[in-house]
């Protein structure tokens, strides 16, 4: 089985056409014609993930976050990213990234989040998912989000005792969906909410629940593993390394 055969499996699960126009997805580095020796699935391509792929015999890394975003003018090994690109090329390790197509696809990240938050009657709505909750308060829902994702960075805007019947969830940074969420739901659940949006929501009386970008998308690894599980592929999960630490952890 080649790297390209594995990409075809993944693209059947999360077709590239689902990606937003501004997104960067697909082959970032490498050779899809190469015979595959193993697949390392990861949220981010990091020096640690590259080393793990090499140590465990994987010549394909599948990431959620794109390895390359801005066009490259040069590969300078004196920089962190330049060193990673050069190392990947030297070691013959390919990188394929699946971003908003993995967020949006059926059974993808936003569907998984809605299920984890006990959502019912889940509906696809562009980047996000709308779902029903029954009668829970904003505070109770924030606790569900915190405990489900094991994320103590969770915070909320709005009356803690407000009854939330319908929620709109977007993985990663979903503040762009604020206007849509106000039209169809009682709360927007997302990560990386800008301060001005927090102020606006408070003034408008609309509820927000925020969590870390990392916590919202580490489930990408499980989703990618599930998509590849029916096939005879050496699947390796990258060690989860959160880029920041919390005060309660040190």
Distances (CA, A) of 141 to 145, 148, 156, 186: 6, 10, 10, 12
Residues in the chain where the model's pLDDT stays below 70? none
Distance CA 76, CA 66 (A): 19
Beta bridge partners of 40: 61, 236
| Whether the domain at 3-102 and the domain at 106-216 fall into the same CATH topology | yes
Q: How is domain 3-102 classified at the CATH fold level? A: 3.40.1390
Beta bridge partners of 94: 60
Work out whether the CA dihedral 27, 30, 36, 40 comes out positive or negative: negative
Residue-wise pLDDT for 59-115, tens only, equals 999 999 999 999 889 999 999 999 999 999 999 999 999 999 999 999 999 999 999
CATH superfamily, with its number, for domain 106-216: NIF3 (NGG1p interacting factor 3)-like (3.40.1390.30)
| Cβ atoms 191, 216 nearer than 8 A | yes
Full-model pTM = 0.93
List the chain domain ranges: 3-102, 106-216
């Amino acid at each position: 089985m080649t790297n390209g055969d594995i990409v075809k499996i993944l693209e059947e699960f999360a077709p590239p056409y689902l990606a937003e126009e501004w997104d960067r997805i697909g082959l970032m580095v490498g050779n899809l014609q190469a015979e595959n020796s193993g697949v390392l699935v990861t949220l981010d391509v990091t020096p640690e993930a590259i080393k793990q792929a090499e140590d465990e015999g994987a010549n394909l890394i599948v990431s959620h976050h794109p390895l390359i975003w801005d066009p490259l003018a040069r590969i300078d090994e004196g920089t962190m990213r330049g060193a990673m690109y050069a190392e990947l090329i030297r070691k013959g390790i390919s990188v394929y990234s699946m971003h908003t197509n993995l967020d949006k696809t059926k059974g993808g990240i936003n569907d998984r989040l809605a299920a984890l938050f006990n959502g019912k009657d889940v509906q696809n709505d562009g980047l996000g998912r709308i779902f029903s909750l029954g009668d829970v308060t904003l505070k109770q829902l924030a606790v569900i989000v915190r405990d489900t994702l094991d994320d103590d960075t969770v915070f909320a805007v709005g009356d803690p005792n407000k009854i939330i019947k319908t929620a709109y969830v977007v993985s990663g940074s979903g503040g762009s969906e604020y206007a849509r969420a106000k039209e169809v739901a009682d709360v927007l659940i997302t990560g990386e909410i800008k301060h001005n949006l927090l102020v606006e929501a408070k003034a408008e009386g609309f509820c927000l629940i925020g969590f870390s970008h990392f916590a919202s998308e580490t489930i990408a690894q499980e989703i990618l593993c599930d998509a590849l599980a029916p096939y005879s592929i050496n699947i390796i999960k990258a060690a989860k390394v959160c880029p920041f630490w919390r005060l309660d952890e040190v």
